[in-house]
Amino acid sequence: MIQNYIKEIEELRAKLLESEAVNETLRKNLSRASTRSSFYGPTSITPGHLAPEKDATEIIEIAKKDLEKLKKKKKKKKKR
The residue that leads in pLDDT, 68 or 56, is 68
Q: In the chain, where are the structural domains located?
A: 2-79
Which string of DSSP letters, residue by residue, matches 3-68?
HHHHHHHHHHHHHHHHHHHHHHHHHHHHHHHHHHHHHH-TTS--HHHH-HHHHHHHHHHHHHHHHH
C-alpha–C-alpha distance, residues 75 and 18, integer Å:
13
**Cβ of 25: how many Cβ atoms within 10 Å?**
19
Kindly indicate the confidence band of residue 77, based on its pLDDT and cuts at 50, 70 and 90: confident
The tens digit of pLDDT for each residue in 19-56 reads 888 888 888 888 887 776 666 655 444 444 545 666 77
For the whole model, what pTM was predicted? 0.45
Give the model's confidence band at 76: pLDDT under 50 very low, under 70 low, under 90 confident, else very high.
Answer: confident
